[in-house]
Structure 1
Amino acid sequence: MSFNVTILGSGAAVPTLKRGTTSQLVTCNQRTILIDCGEGTQIQMRKFKVKFQNIQVILISHLHGDHVFGLPGLISTMQLLGRQDPLKIIGPKGIKEFLLNQFKLSGLYNGFPLEFTELETNAKQIVFEDKCLEIHTFPLKHRIQTQGYRINEKPGKRRLDVEAFEASGASRSYIQKLIAGDDIMDNEGRIVKSEDVTFPPKPIKSYAFCSDTAYLPELIDSLKDVDLLYHEATFLDKESERAVETFHSTAKQAATIALKSNAKRLILGHFSARYKSMENHQLEAESIFERVYIPTDGEIFHV
C-alpha cells in the first residue's frame, strides 16, 4: 500500500514566493492526513492538485499562526464545496476555541461535523487508531505547547507461500486463518503451522513530524528507527544563539536527532526567510547525517 508525504509548505513564519508556511499532506493506506495548515495552504493544495475532500484527519502541532492560520479558510472552502463527511481535528488545547470563535465572529455556518481531540498535556499518547495505522503524539520544546506526531502503519497479514501450502495438503478453507498467523489442524488431524506455509508480513513503515522545537535529545525515544523524519531547521549553526532564544533548531541539530534516532532519511524544513539558498543547510546537516533532503514545495516523498 502507498505511504507518501507531500510538502505543501516548507518555510518558517513569513511566507515567500518560493516557500509557503508549514503544511504537509500524508497519504497512508487510503487514509489522508493533513499536518499543520499555515496561511495559504489551500492555495498550495490547488497548485499541487490535492483534493480537499479526501482529508480525514488534521493534526495541528501548535497554535502559532504560521501553522494554523489557514485552517478556518480551508474548512470554509470544504463547506462551500459541499462536504458532509466528518473531519477529525487533533491539536493542543485551544484549537477548538480558536476555530469556533472564527466561525462565530465571521458568521460562518459549519455544515459538517467537526470532531475535536484537544491534547490537555504534552504526554506521549496514541491520538488516532484504526485497522491500518496509529498516530502517536509526543512533546516538543517551543514557546507554547507544541506536539510532534508519528504515523505508524499497523502490521498486515502474512502472505501465503502457495507452493508450501499446496505441499501441506491443507484445505483452502484454512487460508485466512493461516495468513492471520494461526496454526490449524486439518480434517486428518495434522498440524499445519502458519510460519511453514506463509511469508512474514511486509515491513511496516513510519513517518515522524517534528514541528517547531529547540534541540531536544528526549525526542530520540519517540523517533527510534523511523523510516522518514521531518525536523525543523530554521537556522544555520552560526545562528545557534538565535535558535536557543526562539526555541528553534539548526540544521546540524536536526541531523544529530536523526542520527541518534537511527532514522533512515531526514527532511529539513521551516526555513527562515533570511536564507536565499538552502545549500548550507544541506552541507551542515550532511556533516552529521548522510541521507538529508531539502524539499521544494510540492515535492512528494515515498515512505
Structure 2
Amino acid sequence: MIDVCLLGTGGMMPLPYRYLTAMMARYNGKSILIDCGEGTQIAMKQKGWSPKPIDVICFTHFHADHISGLPGMLLTMGNAERTEPLLIIGPKGLEKVVGALRMIAPELPFELRFHELSQPFEQIDMGDYRIEAFRVNHNVICYGYNLIVERAGRFQVEKAKILGLPVQLWNPLQKGNVVEFEGKTYTPDMVMGSPRKGIKVTYCTDTRPTRSIEENAAHADLFICEGMYGEPDKQQKAREHKHMTFYEAANLAKAAEVSQMWLTHYSPSLPWPDQYLPQVTKIFPNAITAKDGQTIELDFEEEN
C-alpha cells in the first residue's frame, strides 16, 4: 500500500489557503518527497507526517515555488537527529543549486547524495520500489516522475513440491534469489506465477502536454497533473508560459488511460478551481480539483 498526500497545490506564490507545490508518498516505512515549495513543512505538520524518514527528495525543476522550502526542510531533518544519508534527485545542476541554498543551512548531521538527471528518461532503483524520471516541456529543464511498486507473482507451492524443494528454500526463491540444492540450481521463475499488477503514481507539473507524459503515465493508478488555468480564455497564456489548462490535463489522462487524475499547481488568480470541474469531467470523468492535504491510500488489487 502507498499513502499519497498533496501537501501543497499552489503555483507561483503561496496563498493563505494554499501552500506551494509538494507531494509526499509513504511506502513500506519509507517516504518520498517530490518538490518542496514554501510551506511544505507546515503542511506536513498539519498532516501529522514526519520529515525524518524521508529517503529521497525529487525535484521537477529549480523554480522557486518548487524548491524554496528545501533549506528549512533540511534543518528540520537535522534537528530531528537524522543521521542517515538523504538522496536528492533532480535535473543537471542539482548539486550546485542545493549547495547555494545550503548557505543558510550549512551544517547537517547527515550526508547529502545527488543523482543529477541528464537523459530524457532515467530509472532509479530504490530497492522495493522504483523511481522513473521523464523529461517534460517547460521553459527550463523539467522532469515528471513515476513511483512504481512492482508485485511478484504468487509462489506456486505445488511446483515447489514437484521439484522436491525443502520448505526452507521457498522464501529465498520468493524473494528472487537463486538457490542450489543437491547439486542443482533453482531460479525463482521455476516456482513463481506471472507478475501481478503493482501500483503506479505519476506526478508532473509545469509543462505543456507532451507525448512523453502520455506514454509514461499510461495506466497509472493515480495521475497528479498540473492544471495552472481553468478559465477557458487562458489557453494562449498557458502556451506562452509553458503550462497546462485543466482541459489539456484531462485529455492527457484520457489518452493515458489512467485510473484517476488529481489537478494541482493552480495559478494564484484561480481561487475556486472547483467551478471548472464539470467541464473537466466531461473529458475525463474520474478527475478532481485537489486541495492541500488531499490524501489517498493505494492498495494492490484484490485477486479472485
1:143 maps onto 2:142 in alignment: no
1:221 to 215, 218, 221: 215
- CA distance in 1: counterparts of 2:94 and 2:263, whole angstroms: 26
- CA distance in 2: counterparts of 1:183 and 1:14, whole angstroms: 53
Match of 1:228, as an amino acid?
A: L
Q: What does the per-residue CA deviation read over 1:264-285, in whole Å, with 9 as the maximum and x for residues that have no partner? A: 1111101112122122332222
Moved more, 62-71 or 277-286: 277-286
Contact 1:122 1:146 in 2 (8 A): no
Q: What does the per-residue CA deviation read over 1:110-139, in whole Å, with 9 as the maximum and x for residues that have no partner? A: 2210001122x351111x213311111111
Match of 1:103, as an amino acid?
A: R
| CA positional deviation for 1:175 | 2.9
1:262 maps onto 2:261 in alignment: no
Q: What does the per-residue CA deviation read over 1:80-139, in whole Å, with 9 as the maximum and x for residues that have no partner? A: 2222110001111232222212333x37322210001122x351111x213311111111
* Residue of structure 1 in register with 2:227 after alignment: 233
2:201 to 188, 201, 207: 207
* Residue of structure 1 in register with 2:121 after alignment: 124
1:247 maps onto 2:245 in alignment: no
Q: What does the per-residue CA deviation read over 1:237-296, in whole Å, with 9 as the maximum and x for residues that have no partner? A: 321111111110011100111111111111110111212212233222211111102222
| CA positional deviation for 1:194 | 8.4
Find the residue that maps to 1:204 and give its secondary structure.
strand
- How high is the TM-score relative to the length of structure 2? 0.86
Contact 1:76 1:108 in 2 (8 A): no
Cα RMSD between the aligned structures?
2.8
Moved more, 199-208 or 28-37: 199-208
Contact 1:122 1:145 in 2 (8 A): no
Aligned residues with identical type, % of pairs: 27
* Residue of structure 1 in register with 2:154 after alignment: 159
* Residue of structure 1 in register with 2:283 after alignment: 288
Q: What does the per-residue CA deviation read over 1:5-51, in whole Å, with 9 as the maximum and x for residues that have no partner? A: 11100111121122110001011233210000001111111111111
1:94 maps onto 2:93 in alignment: yes
* Pair 1:149–1:166, CA change in 2 (3 A): closer
- CA distance in 1: counterparts of 2:296 and 2:162, whole angstroms: 42
Match of 1:74, as an amino acid?
A: M
- CA distance in 2: counterparts of 1:173 and 1:113, whole angstroms: 39
* Pair 1:285–1:165, CA change in 2 (3 A): same
| CA positional deviation for 1:78 | 1.4
Q: What does the per-residue CA deviation read over 1:157-193, in whole Å, with 9 as the maximum and x for residues that have no partner? A: x33466x579969543453366468999x99xxxx99
Aligned length, in residue pairs: 294
Contact 2:74 2:105 in 1 (8 A): no
- CA distance in 2: counterparts of 1:177 and 1:101, whole angstroms: 46
Match of 1:14, as an amino acid?
A: M
Moved more, 276-285 or 290-299: 276-285
